[in-house]
Structure 1
Amino acid sequence: MRRFEGRVALVTAGAQGIGAAVARRIADEGGSVVVTDLQKEKVAQVAAEIGEQAIGLRVDVTSRDDVDAAVAAAVERFGRLDVLVNNAGGCIVTSVPEDTTAEEFHRQLDLTLVGASRCIQAALPHLVKTRGNVVTISSVNGLAAFGNIEYSAAKAGQIAMTVNYAARYGGLGVRFNVVAPGTIRTPNWDNQPDTLERFAPMYPLGRVGEPEDIAAAVAFLASDDAAWITGHTLPVEGGILTGPGLFDLATTGPFRKEY
């Protein structure tokens, strides 16, 4: 398939895991890609592996100057912007919610929720010109109780923000959608290999997800195959939202305080 021929995508947090898989998938389907990440060397390597149709930039999504510069670089290099993939974020609060400080909560929101908003604001004028679209990588944490309360609140906020943007800008031809992954095998789990094995049986499909599972869903929503889909959240989660393992997964791990 060449669904992104002549189109340009900007992918945040693209140095590894889901972001890198999304960038490769869009490039494999003919698109040009601006891959951004805090990890300068790694994102440059991903772009080099993709080839001439990609550039890698160090970008901090908590900085509006960085985000503006990345969008400007995309348009300068490739002449347009058609797709924004908001993938930057992460669980940065390590305390139980009863002990979380306001500063920690604000940092979580600034990275995951406000960071996505900054990227949308910077990209929107160009997406209006191309009748483009935004795909934001949220999480099943934004849809059900899996713990990690601050992270989950930020992810739920992404979903609410997407619905409102979709309603506001649909008349201008700009689409906004969300992919909500379950547990995905990314480098974030490298120091916890046993955890993924423990989680796998909780999923009705019997495994955790791979970055390519998410990349396939993003490519669908960002392409013309989804031309009449906006304001929706697509869970890509191996059935965990329907299965009995939901409670087990939500009540394990370091984010529960014993009394």
Structure 2
Amino acid sequence: MRRFEGKVALVTAAAQGIGAAVARRLADEGAAVVVTDPQEDKLGALAAEIGTEALAVRVDVTSRDDVDAAVAAAVERFGRLDVVVNNAGGCLIAPSPEDTPDELWQAQLDLTLIGASRCIQAALPQLVKHRGNVVTISSVNAIGAFGNIEYSAAKAGQIAMSVNYAARYGELGVRFNVVAPGTIRTPIWDHQPGTLERFSKLYPLGRVGEPADIAAAVAFLASADASWITGHTLPVEGGVLTGPGGLDLGTSGYFKKEY
């Protein structure tokens, strides 16, 4: 399929994991892709792999200047911007919910929620002009009780933000949707041998997710196949939300500020 022929997409946190899989999928379907991330070496390698229809831009989403510059670079290079995939984020671990300092709350919101808002704000003129859309990568943490309260709240905020943007900009033809992944096999797990295998037993489908699973959902929601879908959250989670829940991923201690 070439559902994105003639379209331009910007993907945040694209150097590895979900973001890299999304960038590859959109490029495979015909999009010119602007890949952004603070990790310049990995980002450059991804852009080189995708080819001439890829542009790598170093972006920290906590910097409005970085975000604005990335959107400007996309328009300068490709002449337009049609799709934004908000993938940047991370989980900042607090000692306990009762002891979380204000500074950590602020840092978590700045990275995960306000960072996504910055990308939307910067891209809106282009999205309105070209009747584009935004897909934000949230988490099952936004829907169920899986621990990491500050991270979960920021992810839930992404859903509320997207619903309100969808209502506000629908009459202009701009769509906003969310994908909520379960546990995905990404590099953050590399230093915890056996953890994903243990988690896989909690999923009715018998495995954790792969980045390609999320990329497929993003490609659908960002495409014309979903042209009458806006303001919705699509859980891509192997059925974990149908189970007993209560898995506190925060007890693993693996999360840190990471893309």
| TM-score normalized with structure 2 length | 0.96
Shift of 1:144: 0.7
Query: 1:152 and 1:132 mapped to 2: Cα distance?
Result: 28
Shift of 1:97: 1.2
User: Where does residue 11 of structure 1 map in the other structure?
Assistant: 11
Identical positions, percent: 78
Amino acid corresponding to residue 18 of structure 2 in structure 1: I
User: Where does residue 232 of structure 2 map in the other structure?
Assistant: 232
User: Where does residue 248 of structure 2 map in the other structure?
Assistant: 250
Query: 1:200 and 1:34 mapped to 2: Cα distance?
Result: 33
Tell me how many residue pairs correspond in the alignment: 253
5 Å-filtered alignment, 1:25-174, equals 25-174=25-174
On the 8 A contact 1:189/1:196 being kept in 2, the answer is: yes
Query: 2:189 and 2:111 mapped to 1: Cα distance?
Result: 20
On the 8 A contact 1:93/1:105 being kept in 2, the answer is: no
Over aligned residues, Cα RMSD in angstroms?
1.1
Amino acid corresponding to residue 136 of structure 1 in structure 2: T
Query: 1:254 and 1:103 mapped to 2: Cα distance?
Result: 22
| TM-score normalized with structure 1 length | 0.96
* Structure 1 residues 50 and 99: alpha-carbon distance in aligned structure 2, compared to 1, 3 A threshold: same
On the 8 A contact 2:148/2:249 being kept in 1, the answer is: no
Shift of 1:254: 4.5
Shift of 1:250: 3.1
User: Where does residue 205 of structure 1 map in the other structure?
Assistant: 205
User: Where does residue 181 of structure 2 map in the other structure?
Assistant: 181
Query: 2:100 and 2:42 mapped to 1: Cα distance?
Result: 31
* Structure 1 residues 252 and 97: alpha-carbon distance in aligned structure 2, compared to 1, 3 A threshold: closer
On the 8 A contact 2:179/2:235 being kept in 1, the answer is: yes
Greater relative contact order structure (CA < 8 Å, 6+ sep): 2
On the 8 A contact 1:93/1:108 being kept in 2, the answer is: no
Query: 1:195 and 1:56 mapped to 2: Cα distance?
Result: 32
* Structure 1 residues 252 and 68: alpha-carbon distance in aligned structure 2, compared to 1, 3 A threshold: closer
Amino acid corresponding to residue 92 of structure 1 in structure 2: L
Query: 1:103 and 1:239 mapped to 2: Cα distance?
Result: 35
Query: 1:204 and 1:7 mapped to 2: Cα distance?
Result: 37
Runs of 5+ unmatched residues, structure 2: 254-259
Shift of 1:192: 1.1
Query: 2:250 and 2:176 mapped to 1: Cα distance?
Result: 33
Query: 1:254 and 1:185 mapped to 2: Cα distance?
Result: 15
Runs of 5+ unmatched residues, structure 1: none
Amino acid corresponding to residue 71 of structure 2 in structure 1: V
